[in-house]
Structure formats: C-alpha cells, structure tokens
Structure 1
Amino acid sequence: MYGPSCFDEMRPALLHGLIDDHPLGTIVTHGDAGLDANHIPFEIAAAGADAPFGILRAHVARANPLWRHQGDTMVVFQGPSAYITPTLYEGKKIDGKEVPTYNYAVVHAHGPLRAIEDPAWILALLARLTARHEAAQAMPWSLEDAPPGFIERLVRAIVGIEIPVMRMHGKWKVGQNRSQNDQQTVLAAMDAPMAQTMRRRAQGA
C-alpha cells in the first residue's frame, strides 16, 4: 500500500479498533481464475504464537468456494472517509495554493486461510457475532429465538474460516502532515466518525 511514511499506522490497538468498528472486510484471493474478492464481516481475536497480529474469524456459505482457497489472502477494512475542501486550509486565504484531498483510514491484514468445519466452533462464532451486533437493538435477537433444529441445519450449511494475521499495515491519512491550525479546522468540520478517527490516532488508542 503506497503512502508517505507519515500516514503509516502500525499500533495494534488502533488497527484492531478499526476492525472492531468496521468489521465488514474485503477478502482478496488469487487462484486459477485470477483475482477474486468477497465481502464478509469478521471478528478480530488477540494475537497468538502463530498469529503475531491477531486472528480474523468469519464464516461463509458452504457453496462459496472461498473456504477451499489455499494460500495467502489479504483482507481490507475501510474506516471512515471524508472529502476535504481546500477552503478549510489557511493557505487558501494566503496564496490560494491548495487543492482538494480525501482523508481516510484503512487496514490491510495478510495471512493464510484455514477452513473450519467443526460445528461447535461455528456455533460459538455465530453466538459471539450475534451477541455483538444485536447488543444495540431494543430487543436483541439471539440464536435461541430461532425454531428448534433451524440453527443446527444452518451450521451444516456454512463453513468457518480463520486467518492468522502474519502482517498488518494501516494507513491513517487524516491530515497529520498539515499544520496544527489546519488540523484543528478540519477536525471541527468533520462528521462524528471521522472526527473520532482523527482523535483516536492522535491519542494512540
């Protein structure tokens, strides 16, 4: 991923935080038919001996050939983004030598894909994902709300995937190459998600 080094972000807390907040990842693979991409919600687990940057877990339909992929994968997570007008920069008022840009935060995670067909593992993953994403609902749904036997049939129709992350690279292009005055002006003009992303980077959490 190209970018000036000032935009590089390697702190695990920030990288995992973006994945937690924006779990829909684009998983890119390369096989006999060439490049392919699938869009899947993931969870990120803590690092381990064979996964120095954490473990990504998800599930796909058994009919999806992704789970049969052997070899490296890259998963891209896109955080908040925002168009930046040059009128926010003090240089626009002084000499007009400013142009528009785009601010954003992304994470690229690399690692091998492992398929998991253990029903207990898949059921536990479904329970965790459901509990997490239903937590904000007024009446949270749970696996127990489904008819008897329905979830068991569903588990047989899906396959778990696990990616031990061997390399992870973040890019936070949020105006840190600008003056403090420009950064504060842009921060004040941003919507809540981008403003929070800018503050988290500055605070390192």
Structure 2
Amino acid sequence: MYTPPAFAVEDTTELYEMMRQCRLANFVTATPDGPMATPLPMFLDEAEGERGILYAHLARPNPQWQAPVIGHGLAVFMGPDAYVTPSWYASKAEHGKVVPTWNYTAVHASGPVEFFEEAERLFEVVSRLTGIHEVSRSLPWAVTDAPEAYIKAQLRGIVGVRMPVVSLQGKRKMSQNRPEADRKGVKQGLGDSRSPTDQIVSDMIRV
C-alpha cells in the first residue's frame, strides 16, 4: 500500500483498533491460478505471536483454501471513506488549482497462511468470532445455544484460516495534506451530508 508519511499510521495499538473497527476484511492470496479474494469477518488475537494472529473461516466449497498459496496472504481492512469535492476547499476560490480526492482509512496485514480442518479448532474460532459480535446484545447468542449435532454438521462445512501477522501497514488519509481552511471546508461539507459514513469521516478530520 502506498503510504506517504503524512498519512501513515505506525502505532501498533492504533492499528489494532482500526482493524477491530472493521466488521469485514478482504482475505487475499496469490495462487497458481491467479489472485483469489474472499470477504471474511476476521478477528485478531493480539496475545499470540509477535504481532498477533488473524483467524477466520471459509466455506468448504470455496476454492481459495484448496489452491496453493504463493508467498504470504493479505488481509485488507477498510474503514470509513468519503468522496471529497474541490468545491469544499477555500483554496478553490483563491487559485482554482484543486482536484477531487477520497478520504479513507485502511490497514493491510500480511503473513503466512494456514488452513485447518480440525473440529476443535474450528469450534474455538467460530465461538470467539460469535462472541465478539454478540457481546453488545442484551441477549447474546452463543454457538452452544444450537443443538450439538447441528453445530458439528455445520463445522464440517467450513475450513479455518490462521495467519500470523508479520507485516502491518496503516493509512489514515483525512485531508492532512491540505491547509487548515481547506480541512475546515471538507469537515463541514461532509458533516452536512445525509450519509452517515460521510458524517463519520467528518468527525475524523482534524482542524
């Protein structure tokens, strides 16, 4: 990922938080048949390995896990994003030398990929993943709420993914490279939008 110094996020704690905030990642592998990608809910175990380990699961019919992986896998976590019109820039009225751009956040994590099929490991992964997304509910659902035989059958239909993180890149492009007056214009413009995502991006712009 091309990351100019003005947009780079290097603090590991901050990078982990950005990853946690993304509900879905794109899991990408290079294979002899070309690149393969699957959108997956992934979770990071920060206590494992030197830089944490990512876990997820694929549907067993998905050909991605059956194709040999060339090099490392890549997990792409995309955060809030928004189109930025030059009309919001104060500098447009001054000299007109402005063009559209896009504000966004992203984290790229890469490392060696392991696919696994052991029922016990799969049960742990789906239980932890479910717990992460159910914890905020007043009546959280747990994997053990379903009949045991049903869960065992469901586990036979998936394959686990384990990827130790060896490389971590983060980017937060929020108009940092623009003058303060331009940033204020972008912040206000996005804040006035009816799009909830635009409003989130507005809150992330520092002026």
Report 1:148-163 matches (<5 A). Answer: 148-163=148-163
The yes-or-no answer on 1:91 pairing with 2:65 is: no
1:136 CA drift (Å)? 3.8
Aligned to 2:30: 30
Give, in whole Å, the separation in 1 of the partners of 2:11 and 2:146: 40
The answer on 1:106 being equivalent to 2:106 is yes
Whether 1:66 aligns to 2:64 is: yes
2:25 is paired with a residue of what secondary structure?
strand
Counterpart of 1:175 in structure 2 is 175
Distance (whole Å) between structure 1 residues aligned to residue 172 and residue 47 of structure 2: 22
Equivalents in 2 of 1:172, 1:117: separation in Å?
36
CA distance in 1, matches of 2:202, 2:120: 40
Task: Report how many residues are paired.
Answer: 198
Farther-moved stretch of structure 1 (76-85 vs 185-194)? 185-194
- Tell me how far 1:196 sits from its aligned partner: 4.5
Distance (whole Å) between structure 1 residues aligned to residue 28 and residue 153 of structure 2 = 29
Is 1:194 aligned to 2:201, yes or no?
Answer: yes
1:15-57: CA deviation from partner (whole Å, max 9, x where unpaired): 2112111131112211121111111110012164xx4332111
Match of 1:9 in 2: 9
Contact 2:37/2:64, CA 8 A, preserved across alignment: no
Given the superposition, is the C-alpha separation of residues 148 and 46 from structure 1 closer, same or farther in structure 2, using an over 3 Å criterion? Answer: closer
Stretch of structure 1 that moved more, 37-46 or 58-67: 58-67
Instruction: Check whether the contact 1:80–1:197 (CA below 8 A) recurs between aligned residues.
Output: no
Cα distance change of structure 1 residues 115 and 197 upon mapping to structure 2, 3 Å threshold = farther
Structure 1 Cα separation of the partners of residues 137 and 168 of structure 2: 32
Q: CA deviation at 1:9?
A: 1.8
TM-score norm. by structure 1 comes to 0.85
Tell me what 1:127 maps to. Answer: 127
Q: Per-residue deviation at 1:85?
A: 1.4
Q: CA deviation at 1:138?
A: 5.0
Q: Which residue in 2 is equivalent to 1:19? A: 19
**Out of 21, 31, 54, which is 1:56 matched to?**
54
CA separation in 1, counterparts of 2:44 and 2:102?
Answer: 27
RMSD, aligned α-carbons:
2.2
AA of the residue aligned to 1:62: R
Measured in 2, the distance between the counterparts of 1:58 and 1:23 equals 12
1:135 deviates by: 3.1
- Given that 1:25 and 1:76 are in contact with CA atoms closer than 8 Å, whether structure 2 keeps it comes out as yes
Whole-Å separation in 2 of the counterparts to 1:96 and 1:33:
47
Deviating runs (4+, > 6 A) in structure 1? none
1:87, distance to aligned residue in structure 2 (A):
2.0
Distance 2:92 2:185 in 1: 13
**Match of residue 144 from structure 2:** 144
CA contact (8 A) 2:36 2:64 kept: no
Q: Percent identity?
A: 37
Structure 1 residue 76 and structure 2 residue 81: aligned? no
